[in-house]
Copies of this chain bind each other. A is one copy, B any other.
Amino acid sequence: MKLDIALIHYPVCNKKQEIIGSAVTNLDIHDIARAGKTYGVNNFYIVTPFADQQKLVGEIIEHWRHGYGARYNNDRREAFSIIKVCERLEDLYDEYTRSDLPRPLTLATSARDVAQKQIPYEVLRQRLADGEHCLILFGTGWGLAPEVIADVDAFLPPVGGGMTYNHLSVRSACAIILDRLLSER
């Protein structure tokens, strides 16, 4: 199974649909790394162009991989082993090229229903089971910027309970999507 996930902090939208860079949330790192490791994700990329944020994430990762955190909680050390920090999404795409890999099938996630180019969960589940390399992008703030969305191969349908209300945290949405794609059956 070859699945990478990326948590995008720039470019994303704010509440007014303006393009912003969001701050990294500590519990996003923990929860998504733990869910990623639990479901067998290969790499969890944290994408932020801000040097101070990269430094902060680097320090958090260091604490749980090699510092006191690693000795206190070995499970957390394992979860953090899948994290990589990345300046821009383009750098991530370039990293595949440098490794002589084709760009994986790249999917955007959104709480809004984008009718075009949707791949149902069962279909993507099968493609992953068949060994296809995929990359799923998760937005922070109020979601991925249009320029990111314009450049993906396909969309995953929004998750939820079919209610009018649909406001999951990115941590919850990511956990649910991994479960739909990779749960033990």
Q: Which of B31, B162, B165, B179 contacts A159 (CB 8 A)?
A: B179
Most central of A34, A166, A179 by chain B CB within 10 Å: A179
Chain B residues near A151 (CB, 8 Å)?
none
Chain B residues near A35 (CB, 8 Å)?
168-169, 172
Copies of this chain: 2
The stretch among A37-45, A49-57, A63-71, A99-107 that forms the contact with chain B is: A37-45
Q: Which of B40, B162, B175 contacts A176 (CB 8 A)?
A: B175
CB atoms of B171 and A38 under 8 A apart: no
Chain B residues near A183 (CB, 8 Å)?
159-162
CB atoms of B161 and A178 under 8 A apart: yes
In the assembled complex, how far is the CB of residue A149 from the closest CB belonging to chain B, in whole angstroms? 21
Which chain A residues in 1-49 approach chain B with CB under 8 Å?
A: 27, 30-31, 34-35, 37-40
Q: A34-B167, A38-B165 are in contact. List 12 more A-B contacts (CB 8 A).
A: A31-B171, A31-B172, A37-B167, A38-B166, A39-B160, A75-B165, A76-B167, A159-B183, A160-B184, A161-B179, A161-B182, A172-B172
10 A-B pairs with least C-beta separation: A162-B184, A172-B175, A39-B161, A176-B179, A75-B167, A161-B182, A31-B169, A35-B172, A175-B175, A37-B165
